[in-house]
Chain A
């Protein structure tokens, strides 16, 4: 995983996930405060984490540890990229309590989105959100995502959302202003 090892903008640095960080990530991911908003809620063992990391395709799965003010605070990713359709599935969680409900998630989100639209040049992003995660639904709508119908077999508690490059290029009063503020 030697491509795009580090992305830095808006006051955050994103470090591409390396093997020495997967145990920290596993512990974050198993914490109930994170697990409650994930569709996969089973405990993740070290072996499962090793298998997951080995399964990542460096050209299709980009996982980053978010560093803010010198501290590792969460994880952001674009995964399952289909290069034929130019689609991918982004995700983010903030683990550090000092950064929860702060501007750090937005900073990391904007940093990753620039990479997605300008470097990877994807056309469509799809996300799945747990319906009870009202905050995530609201912020994703504000970012420009909109809901699409569930697919057969989807659980009732899932919300599917999509954002196209066209959506992303539309003026966004809030996030266009935040881009400017975060770089001051």
Chain B
């Protein structure tokens, strides 16, 4: 699993935010759009694309996109 691919999938969950500069180091809450709905969309995306189950706490305890990526990698 490539980090860049994961970041791209992650960014697809945002509709109103300019995600062109998203990287693994991006603080994904540092925008006006972040909400529980996007968190839910990420949980669903990870299940669909990577067949890994994330919990709400996994998102809550993560700060940057790579934190989530690392959790997914650890469960592959």
In the complex, chain A residues 132-146 whose Cβ is within 8 Å of any chain B Cβ: 135, 138-139, 142
Are A181 and B36 in touch, CB under 8 angstroms? no
A139 to B35, CA, bound (A): 9
Chain B interface extent, by class: 10 to 19
Are A102 and B36 in touch, CB under 8 angstroms? yes
Interface centre among B39, B48, B56, by most chain A C-beta atoms within 10 angstroms, is B56
Cβ–Cβ < 8 Å partners of A138 in chain B:
35, 37
A98, CB-defined interface residue at 8 Å: yes
Chain A interface extent, by class: 10 to 19
In the complex, chain B residues 44-64 whose Cβ is within 8 Å of any chain A Cβ: 44, 47-48, 53, 55-57, 59-60
Which of A103-111, A123-131, A162-170 contacts its partner? A103-111
- Could you pull out 18 A-B pairs where Cβ atoms are within 8 angstroms? A101-B36, A101-B39, A102-B39, A102-B60, A103-B36, A103-B39, A103-B55, A105-B36, A106-B36, A138-B37, A139-B35, A139-B37, A142-B37, A178-B40, A178-B43, A180-B47, A181-B43, A184-B53
Task: Enumerate chain A interface residues (CB-CB to B < 8 A).
Answer: 98, 100-106, 135, 138-139, 142, 173-174, 177-178, 180-181, 184
